[in-house]
Structure 1
Amino acid sequence: MPKQNYSTYGPLNKSYKILYIDTCSKNTANVIELLSDHFKIHTAASVKEALLLIDDISFSLIISQVILEKQTGIDFFKQVKETNLSDSIRILITDKNTKKNTLIEAINNGDIYHYLKEGYSPSELQNLIYKALKQYEAKLTIDQKDLELKKAYSDLKELDKSKTQFMMLINHELKTPLTNIINFISLLKVSKLNDEQEKYLNYIEGSTGTLKKLIDESLSFISAETGQLKLNKNIVSIPALLQSPLEKLQKKIKNKKQSLDLKICDDKIKIDIKIIQQILNHLLHNAIKFGPENSEISFHVTKSDNLELGSLKFSISNTGKEVPKDIVEKIFKPFVLNEQNMNHSQGFGLGLSLCQALLKVHKSQLKFTNSNNITSVYFYL
């Protein structure tokens, strides 16, 4: 049989091992002569002999005649699929009695990659082997990339888990000494202090309050993100829900000479009241903080315009300088800062990322819009 120059098609990545099964020794000799310069050829004259070779050698491609002793090549390939060579390329050489429907079924079931009719030319066999092994190489590459991606994903999950555990550990470790400081501040406040001592104590109290709030928010964020947060839902009217958040922020609104455009409905809703009030406190605080003096803060709770998202829509808006695009893209990530204003603490801290995490537990989502000097956040419940 004449040999073909494989350089016509470009090189394969390596010299692959091929198993050829045939009861005819003449056919076997011809195949060895044709392929041995390019591949490591192993041959078998029976199914039993072939299966013994398969146990010891990893073959990339297996070629079999359709008639093998007491079974067909298709039946043999079905056995191969149950071995460690299930991913090997399998080529069947048919005879004139092979039914086309049988071949189509074998290909569709993945029992064989392709077939050659008896009397094939050497170039047909070489071309088919080359194409089959090119496909095999592509699959190996994809499988390798898939393994690498799975490992990278696993490593990322492990890193994220470690980060979460580290944050929880740090927060808990901070909370214990902070609680002691707060307790001692309470004791000092009932003591007789001069004006200067009282001023410094107030500074300490304010700073510890800020730190406690940050630790509590961090723990809430981690709890929500890791699925540990359990909801305690109760039915509440919208006016009753909003009473506490609005009362807490009235002084801040007054200090900045801002006005509040308040429009709320009288509907009732079943929610975790404490968590939703925490979210509203954050969102209103941000609107006041980033809204300029003498500006208007808008707070509306209305019947939903999209019942698939929820029965009520909560929206809060403020006027002011637009948030930079690079910040908008990561607005719900923890501790996002506007780097141009870092010295002035113009950051969103955990606020929006915490709100988003808490809303996800309620199967809702916080949305953010930013145009025409109006910044708005809204969500549905």
Structure 2
Amino acid sequence: MKNVNLLILDDKEENIISLAALLSEIPHINIISSTDPNEALKICWKNDIAIALVDVQMPEINGFEFVSLLKSNPRTNHITAIMVTAISKEDKYLLKGLESGAVDYLYKPLNPEITVAKVTSFVKQIHIQEEIKQKNIALEESRRALIMAKEEAEEARKSKESFLANMSHEIRTPINGIVGIIHMLRNSELNNEQRDWINRLDSASSSLLLIINDILDISKIDSGMMKIENENFSIRKKLIDINNIFTLRARDKNLIFEMDIDPALPEYINSDPLRIQQIINNFISNSLKFTETGKITLKIKVVTHVDDQYTIRFTVIDTGIGIKDEAIEKIFLAFEQGDDGITKKFGGTGLGLAIVKRLADLLNGKVEARSVYGKGSEFSFEATFQRVEDFPNEEKIDKTVFSKLERFHNVRILVAEDNDLNSFMLAHMLESWGCRVDIAKNGRQAVENVSQQDYDLIMMDTHMPVMSGFEAIKEIKKNASAQKAYIPIITISASVLEHEQARAYEVGADSVIGKPFDPLDLHQKITQLLSKKNLTWL
């Protein structure tokens, strides 16, 4: 504990000696003395004096005046002043001392016990005040550190979001071209070998897109941007769809895939069908990756149900390579796999199960893993769902290949896209629907084209050199011609970030489509926008 500097001011040396001797038994004090008030003021200015015992009756400057001088100076006004006096105890003298700034009185002849007790009490107060001061300083430093950490975290979040947006755009853009070419080739005459090549290319591009989506999903969840969208749906139909997908994939590896559904499973529940399927798909995909022989079983069991609340467990059991006991705990961590050798042999980002764990948390559920190394693994997801009776009619999805879709009549479309492969693919697709297509390589060219030609619709990439799609849309909306200013615009964005898609609508876009896109979805969007202009079909 830090010593407290205590000043004794008395014009008689013998009084200083006796008072100092009396106070010497008090711990944590350092006694400084003076018989001269002017010298004492200098001592107070130069030293960190905390307490001053001041004699009232002194020549030249009395105790009241000395304390008033202390309190009038910013460098000394913090000093705790105690009057030491032999004069009358009348109230007027007491008030005079308090008015000058003193906090207490000691009366001569001094009572040793009272004197020591009072000074000890003030020393403790000084120590408490110092402790509070230090804690306030520490709190202020912590507050500044927290503010700095928050600012750094926000900056890191923005950098991460910017990186993900750029990565998404840079990777999705060429994938969009690849997927588009795949669609085009599938609409051409192919022999069986060529069709097999196309299927393998499609599978490779889908795998790459899945990795990108996994990275974006984990980022969304970690930043709190992932939203659960509940709706009424048929859980049984969802399971049948999953069964159809993975039966074929298992057959390709000479594996058996089977499904065991509890008869008590309700037909319809309320939850997020996309996220439930994502969890189950991840489990089964993992099992397919790490199983060479045997079978994979998807087991669905109703654990309990009370009224319309059903607790359901989805379990995937495989006969794969299994997981070592020490690796079980870390498999649900991002970028982790059970064994470094697994990454080398089987590949993968280690994100699938991390996403599953976070999705399960968002659905107020839990995931578990059990395994016997060398014999197989068992992954389960359990959550409580509400059983529902009503279910909206499902819309049938049109599976028509894009070249067979209905053609447009007398439609001219401007495609603003800086990627040659994407513009080639998109132009070919639009032309197969009977559209006349012009290409602009950047936003500035797009604005110039609009000023010189008449278009029925514009497809605008959001990220382009010279002038971005967002800036180009703003310029087009300022066109003096109302007809040109209100041309329907579909933005083509490789970003899946919500704020970027929202920005497209803010600047005036009529619709947004992501990369890679489904030709059927694009055809429907064009149809909807052109119908507003009362265009007729061929």
TM-score normalised to structure 2 length: 0.47
Cα deviations by residue, 1:111-154 (Å, 9 ceiling, x for unpaired): xxxxxx87745455445534542453355335424542453344
Equivalent residue, structure 2, for 1:108: none
Q: Is the 8 A contact 1:320 1:375 kept in 2?
A: no
Alpha-carbon distance between aligned partners in 1 of 2:254 and 2:191, rounded to the nearest angstrom: 32
Q: Which residue of structure 2 lines up, in the alignment, with residue 266 of structure 1?
A: 265
> Is 1:158 the counterpart of 2:155 in the alignment?
yes
Question: Where in structure 2 are the equivalents of 1:203-242 lying within 5 Å?
Answer: 203-242=200-239
Per-residue CA deviations over 1:285-308 (Å, capped at 9, x if unaligned) read: 22333345214535223133899x
1:178 maps to 175
Q: Secondary structure at the match of 2:180?
A: helix
CA distance in 2, matches of 1:64, 1:284: 80
Q: Secondary structure in 2 aligned to 1:304?
A: strand
User: Matches of 1:220 and 1:285 in 2, distance apart?
Assistant: 17
Partner of 2:255: 257
Q: Deviations over 1:171-223 (max 9, x none)?
A: 13321221122112322344456787666555433322211222334444444
Which residue is equivalent to 1:299? 299
Is this contact kept in 1: 2:50–2:80, CA < 8 A?
no
Q: Which amino acid counterpart does residue 206 of structure 1 have in structure 2? A: S
CA contact (8 A) 2:282 2:352 kept: yes
What is the number of equivalent residue pairs in this alignment? 322
Structure 2, unaligned runs of 5 or more: 1-18, 53-65, 83-90, 107-113, 385-538
* Residue 276 (structure 1) aligned with residue 284 (structure 2): no
Percent of counterpart pairs with the same letter? Answer: 18
**Which one-letter code corresponds to 2:244 in the other structure?**
E
Instruction: Work out the CA distance in 1 between the residues paired with 2:155 and 2:265.
Output: 47
Q: C-alpha distance in 2, partners of 1:137/1:249?
A: 65
The aligned counterpart of 1:349 is: 350
CA contact (8 A) 1:259 1:295 kept: yes
Answer yes or no: is the 8 Å Cα contact 1:333–1:353 preserved in 2.
yes
Pairing 1:57-206 to 2, within 5 Å after superposition: 63=80, 120=117, 122=119, 125-126=122-123, 128-130=125-127, 132-134=129-131, 136-191=133-188, 201-206=198-203
* Residues 99-120 of structure 1: CA deviation (Å, up to 9, x unaligned): xxxxxxxxxxxxxxxxxx8774
In the TM superposition, what is the alpha-carbon distance from 1:274 to its structure 2 partner?
A: 2.8
Which whole-Å deviations, capped at 9, do the CAs of 1:222-249 have from their partners, x for residues lacking one? 4444444454433234322311111111
| Cα distance change, pair 235–186 in 1 and its aligned pair in 2 (3 A) | closer
Unaligned runs of 5+ in 1: 12-25, 77-91, 97-116
Partners of 2:189 and 2:257 in 1: how far apart?
A: 41
Q: 1:144 to 1:326 in 2, by over 3 A?
A: farther
Residue 380 of structure 1, CA deviation:
0.4
In structure 1, what is the equivalent of residue 20 of structure 2? Answer: 2
Partner in structure 1 of residue 383 of structure 2: 380
* Higher-Rg member (1/2): 2
Distance 1:214 1:348, change over 3 A: closer
Q: For the structure 1 residues 330 and 49, does the alpha-carbon distance in structure 2 shift closer, same or farther, using more than 3 Å as the test?
A: farther
Distance 1:371 1:286, change over 3 A: closer
CA distance 1:297–1:209, shift in 2 (3 Å): same
SS in 1 for 2:359: helix
Q: Secondary structure at the match of 1:349?
A: coil
Distance (whole Å) between structure 2 residues aligned to residue 328 and residue 157 of structure 1: 33
Distance across 2 between alignment mates of 1:377 and 1:294: 19
